[in-house]
Structure 1
Amino acid sequence: MPTATANTALTGRTYPPTEPYEVGREKIREFAAALGAQAGDGDTAPPTFPIVLSLHVMKHVLDDPDLGFDFARAVHRDQRFESVRPVRAGDRLTVTIEIVSAESVDGNDIVTLRGHLREADGGAPVCTTTSTLVSRKEEAA
């Protein structure tokens, strides 16, 4: 019998901003190399670089026992980026994570998280990441 454990009551919960993360040229180069992309001038990050910040925080949210999401059984369903401006070396950024939705469908838990990346000094928006993950139900033995 499928079991759903995601706490749907947490939809809408927002977690406080992280400590500032300073974007370094070497991190940009490493990320570009992992993608097989050119590092360019080393000052401007690839458009998907914000996932470096968001994913770290999202993992902590998904591990929150209050949410009840089994990250060990998770698969990535969707990823979106809405950039206001490019991320650049020297940027100091914070991330605020919001649980957009938490639901169970046919015993599978589906959680959508949105990361709001902002400048640490002044709070101007830089990028929004939206990730949807599915924790697959356990198969009957």
Structure 2
Amino acid sequence: MPLDQAFIGREYPPTPPYEVGREKIREFADAVHDDSEVCRDTDAAKAAGHPDVIAPPTFAVILSMGAHDALVGDPELGLDYSRVVHGQQEFVHHRPIRAGDRLVTVVHVDDIMARAGNDFLTVRAEVGSVDGERVCTATSLLVARGTAEEGDQA
């Protein structure tokens, strides 16, 4: 069943706060093979002008994908996540994510279109501090394979 375009513009409630820890940053840096000292050493990060170690730019995927749970679990949308592939990802950083941050994420449905029998869902995750400071905008394109009507075209 195709996704309902009435969901375009929908915003989901903020996630519970996520506290960014030094060890999580270090583990993520290891996983993505980022050897930068600003991700591992507090003194190096401070020398570079940061208050603490900073996360690699793609660390924001932890927050954005976690926030997608509200969308994926929305029975009204009816997204069959077993049919979804991640088509594209973009991050716009307003400032680095750093150890000690307490971050919340709000998910927005920016677009839904059908093409060649697939639904294309553009989801924007706004990551910010619990105090309201903008930190990162993560935009994802999710492709739900075979869910749109063959005749549906955007």
Match of 1:129 in 2: 138
Q: For residue 63 of structure 1, report the CA deviation from its aligned partner.
A: 3.0
Number of residue-to-residue matches in the alignment: 134
Change (3 A) 1:130 1:52: same
Match of 1:89 in 2: 99
Picking from 64, 84, 87, the partner of 1:54 is 64
* RMSD after superposition: 1.4
Match of 1:11 in 2: 8
- Counterpart Cα distance in 2 of 1:71 and 1:63: 9
Q: For residue 59 of structure 1, report the CA deviation from its aligned partner.
A: 3.1
Match of 1:63 in 2: 73
Q: Which structure shows the higher helix fraction?
A: 2
- Counterpart Cα distance in 2 of 1:86 and 1:125: 10
Work out the percentage of aligned pairs sharing the same amino acid: 46
TM-score, normalised to structure 1's length? 0.89
Name the aligned partner's letter for residue 72 of structure 2.
L
Q: Does 1:72 align with 2:82?
A: yes
Name the aligned partner's letter for residue 17 of structure 2.
P
**1:60-98: per-residue Cα shift (whole Å, max 9, x none)?**
312322112221111111110010100000011110100
- Counterpart Cα distance in 2 of 1:59 and 1:71: 10
Task: Decide whether the 8 Å contact of 2:12 with 2:70 is kept in 1.
Answer: no
Structure 2: 5+ residue runs without aligned partners?
Answer: 41-52, 148-154
SS at match of 2:91: strand
SS at match of 1:77: strand
Query: Following superposition, which runs of at least 4 residues in structure 1 exceed 3 angstroms of deviation?
Result: none
Change (3 A) 1:28 1:6: same
SS at match of 1:85: coil
Name the aligned partner's letter for residue 67 of structure 2.
V
SS at match of 1:50: helix
- Counterpart Cα distance in 2 of 1:34 and 1:59: 23
